[in-house]
Amino acid sequence: MPMNYVKTAMLLAFLTAIFVAMGAAIGGQTGMVIAFVVALAMNLFSLWNSDTMVLKTFGAREVDERSAPEYYGMVRDLARRAELPMPRVYIMDNPQPNAFATGRSPARSAVAATTGLLDALPPEELAGVIAHELAHIKNRDTLTMTVAASIGGAISMLAQYLQFGALFGGHNNDRGGIGMIGAILAMLIAPFAAMLVQMAISRSREYQADRMGALICGNPLWLSASLARIEKGVQRIENEDAEHAPAMAHMFIINPLNGQGMDNLFSTHPNTQNRIAALEKLAQELERNGVSLPGGSSSGRAPSQTVTRGGRGPWG
């Protein structure tokens, strides 16, 4: 979708400007030039390799049809229904139920789910989650998501450096920087501005992915039930990897940091109840238009019916 490429270009420009401004706060004009060169290199890296970086950040391991036949088979079946190339399939050894998609294009995409998700969800709800992530891939949201995650994370790290330097007197005017006040402003405003960009992108695309994912899996109620179950799990179980990389929180289907997103300026995700209400409304619309929903409710069966409960879990 051309619009997603435009969004990505605008995002890169804005986050690059923040990064360059923070370089100026550290080292004046010299620091600004260095930051600009670094930002260009980061942009190229994030466009081509950020998916690998994100997967490594969360300790994701790739699986295939032999190591995880049921989980892999479900992804394959739903990718076929979505008319997408088969994505790479990953599992994160994490007790919190959650999932995300990454990759710069459908041809280079990946779906990752936690062991907590695979343990907690029945097959039809798992299908709803996977379909949601495939919708992100189909909409090419993952390009913007991975770029935002990688550069946003770099800005946060630079802000921490500024904070450390300010605490120990590392910034002074005679070195060509903008002084203590500029450093304090940079370490406060820059991460906040980067966060606002990610939030604005995240909230709108989640509603779109919910709707498309519901159509891919065949029943909006499967996805709505999974969202409710995941939110409860997120509230109870901390995701330590996400806590260490908060700039990447917007990639998950439910905010892994607190699971209580609100529809306001400071939320990376729409309110879960609002998402559920939208999906229930979609189910009613489909039924009014004569569309028969498989299972009729969240107790129906998923497109791949081989996922079993108990034992070692649905990943084999």
Nearest to 272 by CA among 282, 260, 281, 280: 260
Closest residue by Cα to residue 206 from 235, 249, 169: 249
132 labelled ligand-binding: yes
- Domain spans in the chain, listed from the N-terminal domain onward: 2-288
Task: Tell me the pLDDT band of 252, cut-offs 50, 70 and 90.
Answer: very high
Q: Which of 132-141, 163-172, 196-205 tops mean pLDDT?
A: 132-141
Q: Is 243 annotated as a binding residue?
A: no
Neighbours of 28 (CB within 10 A): 17
Span 23-73, pLDDT tens digits: 776 667 776 777 777 766 766 676 677 688 889 989 999 999 999 999 999
**pLDDT per residue as tens digits for the range 130-154:** 999 999 999 888 777 666 666 666 6
More confident residue, 174 or 142: 142
231 catalytic, yes or no? no
Annotated binding residue 125: no
Q: How many residues would you count in the chain?
A: 316
Q: Model confidence over 92-110: pLDDT tens digits? A: 999 999 999 998 889 989 9
More confident residue, 196 or 144: 144
pLDDT of residue 41: 73
Return the closest-CA partner of residue 196 out of 9, 24, 15, 5. 15
User: What is the mean predicted confidence (pLDDT) over 184-204?
Assistant: 67
List 133, 231, 240, 280, catalytic entry: 133
